[in-house]
Structure 1
């Protein structure tokens, strides 16, 4: 029953992301962070027209001429689904994860990763975590030596917190 409920929420999340993107998307990588009902969600996606370039979800209003208010409402719905998913874990006696990564590839196959790293308690801010997400999942190279060092520190922090 628990697995069925989770799968239903996964589909809701993927559908909400789908509804927020242009029709010709190829794959997407979503990150949702929740701690005590607070947090945020973002995703990157590429299109069939340009498989090599990933677009940051919060750039959708500018790139695709979407009303920012409407985009923010849709993004809030997406975040509410992330909270709903975490709540389902808690209701079923599971440990509350702090972040979720959902990947949907070009074949519409779904991968989910739950991360228990306490990023909200770290010295790493939201911008650094977004950049780290790009580095980890989208193979973005560090911009400079300082950022490379930050990513190494973040990997070490995540590794130390998961042991």
Structure 2
């Protein structure tokens, strides 16, 4: 199992490196794969910058075709589906989401979530995730209310 997991983690890292068009120092990624829901997005910090770049902005920022980007994004989701299959095959507790931090030095941390993702609003989930993992607080009043509710 460990060998399979390591191979998948390597594929995820390689795919992220292919998606990012500049030198970076840290990547923070969220993914969910399950019945009725699958998504992935990430933020990365370019070397020498404290401003994170949102993964879905890559096509516009780097003049990458939307189609090429979506192919890479689908490859990423495929890796996470494969990862989930390894858990199922080895009778491990089935996760519904994961958070991954990848440093430029190759070190990574991965945390699995087990919440019922179908009961969570995807927009609210992302606002909270950005706050928890990146410290981002939007100027939008609705987003501020989401974070305030989360903190209480």
TM-score by length of 1: 0.84
CA displacement, residues 35-92 of structure 1 (integer Å, 9 cap, x when unaligned): 1274111110011131x11111010000011000110111001111011101110111
2:7 is matched with 8
| Offset at residue 142 of structure 1 (A) | 5.0
Aligned pair in 2 of structure 1 residues 92, 140: CA closer, same or farther (>3 Å)?
same
Match of 1:132 among 107, 128, 131: 128
Say if 1:40 and 1:79, in contact at 8 Å, map to a contact too: yes
Aligned positions, number = 152
Q: Runs of 5+ in structure 1 lacking a partner?
A: 157-163
Say if 1:101 and 1:113, in contact at 8 Å, map to a contact too: yes
Match of 1:57 among 43, 55, 58: 55
| Offset at residue 17 of structure 1 (A) | 0.8
Report the secondary structure of 1:29's partner residue: strand
Report which stretch shifted further, 110-119 or 98-107. Answer: 98-107
| Offset at residue 18 of structure 1 (A) | 0.9
TM-score by length of 2: 0.90
CA displacement, residues 16-45 of structure 1 (integer Å, 9 cap, x when unaligned): 111100231111011111112741111100
Say if 2:98 and 2:113, in contact at 8 Å, map to a contact too: yes
Runs of 4+ that moved beyond 6 A: none
CA displacement, residues 110-155 of structure 1 (integer Å, 9 cap, x when unaligned): 0000011112223x2x222222111010011253665344235446
| Offset at residue 103 of structure 1 (A) | 0.4
